[in-house]
Amino acid sequence: MSLEQLRSRIDRLLDQSADGLYGVDREGRATLVTPSLMAMTGHSLDDVMGRAIHDVVHHSHENGAHYPRHECPIFTACRTGQVGHARETFWRKDGTSFPVEFATTPIIERGEVMGGIVVLRDLERRGELKRELDSTARDWHALAAGGPSPVPRKKVAAPMGTSKVWMAAMDMVGRVAPVDTTVLLCGESGTGKELVAQTLHDLSPRRGRPLVKINCGAIPAGLIESELFGHERGAFTGASAQRIGRFEQAEDGTLFLDEVGELPLDAQAKLLRVLQEREFERVGGGRTIISRARIVAATNRDLAALVERGEFRSDLFYRLHVFPIRLPPLRDRREDIPLLARHFVEKVQHKLGRRLDGFSPESERRLVAHHWPGNVRELENVIEHAAVMSDEGVPLVLPPLIGESAPQSALPVKPPPHDREAIVVALREAQWKITGSRGAAAALGIHPNTLRYRMRQLGVQRPAPST
């Protein structure tokens, strides 16, 4: 098996590992259904939407005995406001069943339970995925064993780059992934910290367990403790139902603390206690809960400098700084830019549903020369912008880049106005072809989209063929 085949195989496996999700009102009728749930059950949207979903996919026990709706933990959660967890049986449209693990989170508005969101995991498929991932991991090792490097982990993130600095970082990812060591991912915004956290989880023995993510900078300071550790009903004003926190959701899996440098000092103290003692209580609760989650943290800030200024606890810093991995900015690995650009072009052409040509040599030069303050995220956005504005069969044209000092010829030029007669003449000479080197747009010196807009504006239409 080749390296490219292995990469494709891993991408396919990860695509298939998505959990199902659906929403219901307080009577258990489906209000939201994701494609992953339909793929699991074989039901169409019309089969499910607006119906009591328990009667469609959850109507019987494993032995086939009828499962009354009032006994269903999902239905109960949506009526009482209590979070529900269970492992039970769901049924496909073809009459076959499969084991699932699900959690129901009630939706509460102004103190009234309006329904719930159900997230479920196909345990049967998870088992198949785990066996295939294990097999794939063995193939990675076997392939690498015959190559120049004795460390197969260096191959893990190859689709993201092949530069020395990137491969060195991925080597560290491969070394630490199989063990439970706490990892701190450092790097500028947009360098791929969340993707690397996902890779760490997928390559670890915990890959069959949840990967729970929380952006510490996006949660109001007063809610951080509840988000991390959960709360009991009545713990504070507005706590009308029990809430399961991220540590508890992670169970024996991985907890990804993104932007950990944004945590307020009081939340840092509570996080430190969990990391030290591996236990916590929900807000307003007295029961001690053991935490077995592996911690992967990430930051785009200099935590050591924050410690010096008294903005980050030194004891927490050393708890997180066990195995730091610095992800290089895109400007430090410019040789990866063409590879990444091709990857994003392939990705966006599937999204748009049409074939895209690559970039012109001048556009590639601009891509490599750009400083990329937004790193890989900025690169992906720029390519999607260029793809949306492009026409099939024409090389992609880059928009102006942030802070770019490019020659005027490299930037889009406002076309001169064209009257209706000139447009009609150009279209006739091009046999009404708009795009391409021999199209009317090229003859007029304007973008094909501009020509289409002017045609609509002036009422220019291709004449019907004579009979």
Same domain, 162 and 310: yes
Higher pLDDT, 220 or 187: 187
CB-CB neighbours of 294 under 10 Å: 23
Higher pLDDT, 135 or 462: 462
Please, what is the angle between helix 337-352 and helix 361-369, to 10°? 120
Highest mean predicted confidence (pLDDT) among 73-87, 185-199, 414-428, 430-444: 185-199
The answer to the question of residue 189 being in a domain is: yes
Domain around 406: 331-410
Q: Confidence class of residue 140 from pLDDT cuts 50, 70 and 90?
A: low
Q: What CATH number did the domain enclosing 169 receive?
A: 3.40.50.300
The pLDDT value given to residue 362: 82
Closest Cα partner for 185 from 105, 260, 134?
Answer: 260
The pLDDT value given to residue 5: 53
The pLDDT value given to residue 302: 93
The answer to the question of residue 132 being in a domain is: no
Same domain, 285 and 360: no
Mean pLDDT (whole number) for 247-273:
91
Same domain, 306 and 201: yes
The pLDDT value given to residue 258: 95
The pLDDT value given to residue 363: 84
Q: 112: burial class by Cβ within 10 Å (0-12, 13-18, 19+)?
A: exposed
The pLDDT value given to residue 138: 55
Q: Confidence class of residue 255 from pLDDT cuts 50, 70 and 90?
A: very high
Q: Confidence class of residue 466 from pLDDT cuts 50, 70 and 90?
A: low
The pLDDT value given to residue 408: 39
CB-CB neighbours of 1 under 10 Å: 11
The pLDDT value given to residue 125: 64
Tokens of 107: 């939706």
Summarize pLDDT for 159-198 with one digit per residue, the tens.
467 888 988 888 888 889 988 899 999 999 999 999 999 9
In this model, does residue 18 exceed pLDDT 60?
no
In this model, does residue 325 exceed pLDDT 90?
yes
Same domain, 396 and 302: no
3-state secondary structure of 393: coil
The pLDDT value given to residue 208: 87
Domain stops at, among 277, 302, 326: 326
Same domain, 296 and 344: no
Highest mean predicted confidence (pLDDT) among 6-10, 73-77, 329-333: 329-333
The pLDDT value given to residue 356: 82
The answer to the question of residue 465 being in a domain is: no
- What are the Cα distances from residue 294, in Å, to 183, 318, 339? 9, 16, 32
The answer to the question of residue 13 being in a domain is: no
- Element containing residue 463 per DSSP (H, E): none
The answer to the question of residue 142 being in a domain is: no
Give the Cα separation of 81 and 116 in Å (integer).
8
Same domain, 186 and 290: yes
Mean pLDDT (whole number) for 314-333:
93
DSSP states of 43-85: --HHHHBTSBHHHHHSSB-TTS-B--GGG-HHHHHHHH---EE
Mean pLDDT (whole number) for 222-235:
85
Higher pLDDT, 51 or 143: 51
In this model, does residue 141 exceed pLDDT 70?
no
In this model, does residue 447 exceed pLDDT 80?
no
The answer to the question of residue 140 being in a domain is: no
Same domain, 240 and 301: yes
Same domain, 230 and 336: no
Number of domains making up the chain:
4
The answer to the question of residue 174 being in a domain is: yes
CB 230 within 8 A of CB 280: no
End-to-end CA distance of the chain: 58
The pLDDT value given to residue 329: 93
The pLDDT value given to residue 28: 85
CB-CB neighbours of 349 under 10 Å: 16
Q: What CATH number did the domain enclosing 335 receive?
A: 1.10.8.60
The pLDDT value given to residue 411: 39
Helices (H) and strands (E) in the chain, counts: 19, 12
In this model, does residue 89 exceed pLDDT 50?
yes
Same domain, 47 and 114: yes
The answer to the question of residue 39 being in a domain is: yes
Mean pLDDT (whole number) for 328-347:
89
Same domain, 314 and 205: yes
The pLDDT value given to residue 191: 92
Mean pLDDT (whole number) for 296-324:
94
For the ranges 41-45, 92-96, 314-318, 444-448, the lowest mean pLDDT is seen at 444-448
Same domain, 164 and 300: yes
Domain stops at, among 326, 358, 385: 326
Tokens of 119: 């997230």
Q: Confidence class of residue 19 from pLDDT cuts 50, 70 and 90?
A: low
Overall pTM > 0.75: no
The pLDDT value given to residue 361: 80
The pLDDT value given to residue 449: 72
Q: Confidence class of residue 300 from pLDDT cuts 50, 70 and 90?
A: very high
Domain stops at, among 298, 326, 354: 326
Q: What percent of the chain has pLDDT over 90?
A: 20
Summarize pLDDT for 145-161 with one digit per residue, the tens.
554 333 333 334 334 67
Q: What is the CA radius of gyration of the chain?
A: 27
The pLDDT value given to residue 413: 39
The pLDDT value given to residue 354: 79
- Antiparallel, parallel or unpaired: β 30-33 and 20-25: antiparallel
Same domain, 311 and 207: yes
